[in-house]
Amino acid sequence: MKEGYDNFYHKRRILITGGAGFIGSNLAHRLVALGADVLIIDSLIPDYGGNLFNLNDIKNRVTINISDVRDENAMHYLVQDRDIIFNLAGQVSHLDSMRDPYTDLEINCRSQLSLLEACRKHNNGVKVVFAGTRQVYGHVDQMPVTEDHLVRPVDVNGINKVAGEYYHLLYNDVFDIRACSLRLSNIYGPRQLIKHNRQGFIGWFIRLAVENQEIEIFGDGFQIRDLVYVDDAAEAFLLAGASEQCNGNVYNVGGSEPTRLNELVALLIKVAGQGRVTHIPWPAEKKSIDIGSFSTDSTKFQSTVGWTPRVSLKEGLSKTVDYYRLHLGQYVDQKSLNPTDKP
């Protein structure tokens, strides 16, 4: 699969929804280097992760359209003539989905239909790679988790992400839009949102370490997670986009080093050379939707496209800490967000 990979994307017309966000912007950098024609859509909704600084290095080599995927008229125009769509636009905060379920429904369900309908009407031959999530599994029966595990999400976000994923599979099967979904584990790395902690713990932990703040772990810290460095995640999208074998399928994309949170934070503090840790009781609002320990079996995806995570946790944390030490001011609003705030 990897043979001829670079040439595959040369001059391909690519659309990335959520392209100013964390994974989307890192993917955009890779595609530009491969010679692709990249169109980026992002609504830049405050607190959702879109940040034009993420694209600063390539801003003259991509086309950026500030629009919302929920806007059907805009989508009808923007999907035209694109060869591949990497669909990463979404609301990813589990806590926000419980506080404001209707907005999560709009962004993670209605917007997916908006995009897919635009493709059906105006670009039926397009390939779409959807950013799914491990959260769809909910509380797991065994680890590592395969794609055959029961889907039973524990929060509004997980339910809507399941629906968004199934829309893609349906349009693949019925309308011949080639689509697949990558169920991502915990992704981390440069260009991640770190100004609040509602979009995941790892970016927030990294910020606290960089600022030499106290890192709070909920509970005993024995929870297991598998983490994927963003370069490896971008590689997964590139491989899926280039593979016809992926069409109509869902794939787990997870790390190779399942790690307890205590071990993760200890390594992060060692890499950063600063920071400290404390344990606090679980907030009831978060405990009720936490899925517990989780690790992914990515064998299906590895056997299909040859993907494997290459960046170790230590190397990935080191690269990420270095990035935020250099660019922290671009990701933290010092006026409105204080490190001691706990959203």
pLDDT of residue 335: 53
- CATH of 201-225+257-295+311-330, picked from 3.90.580.10, 3.90.25.10, 3.40.50.1000, 3.20.20.30, is 3.90.25.10
Q: Is the dihedral of CA 20, 24, 26, 28 positive or negative?
A: negative
Q: What average pLDDT does range 230-238 have in this prediction?
A: 98
| Every domain range in the chain assigned CATH 3.90.25.10 | 201-225+257-295+311-330
Single-letter code of the amino acid located at 167 = Y
Q: Is the dihedral of CA 55, 56, 61, 67 positive or negative?
A: positive
Give yes or no for residue 4 having a pLDDT over 70.
no
Give yes or no for residue 193 having a pLDDT over 60.
yes
The verdict on domain 5-188+229-253 having CATH code 2.40.10.340 is no
Neighbour-count burial for 187-222, b at 16+ CB within 10 Å, e otherwise: bbbbbbbbbbbbbbbbbbbbbbbbbebebbbbeeee
Average per-residue pLDDT for the chain: 92
Condensed to tens digits (0 to 9), the pLDDT of residues 59-105 reads: 999 999 999 999 999 999 999 999 999 999 988 888 888 999 999 89
Give yes or no for residue 341 having a pLDDT over 70.
no
What is the CA 271 to chain-centroid distance, rounded? 24
pTM above 0.85, yes or no: yes
pLDDT: is 23 or 92 the higher one?
A: 23
pLDDT of residue 288: 83
Give yes or no for residue 37 having a pLDDT over 90.
yes
261 token code pair: 């949170």
Condensed to tens digits (0 to 9), the pLDDT of residues 201-211 reads: 999 999 999 99
Q: What average pLDDT does range 130-151 have in this prediction?
A: 95
Q: Is the dihedral of CA 174, 43, 50, 134 positive or negative?
A: negative
pLDDT of residue 11: 96
pLDDT of residue 30: 97
Condensed to tens digits (0 to 9), the pLDDT of residues 303-324 reads: 999 999 999 999 999 999 999 9
pLDDT: is 146 or 284 the higher one?
A: 146
pLDDT of residue 334: 57
| Every domain range in the chain assigned CATH 3.40.50.720 | 5-188+229-253
Pairwise CA distance, residues 177 & 179, whole Å: 6
pLDDT: is 4 or 118 the higher one?
A: 118
Q: What average pLDDT does range 122-133 have in this prediction?
A: 96
- Which percentage of the chain shows pLDDT scores above 70? 96
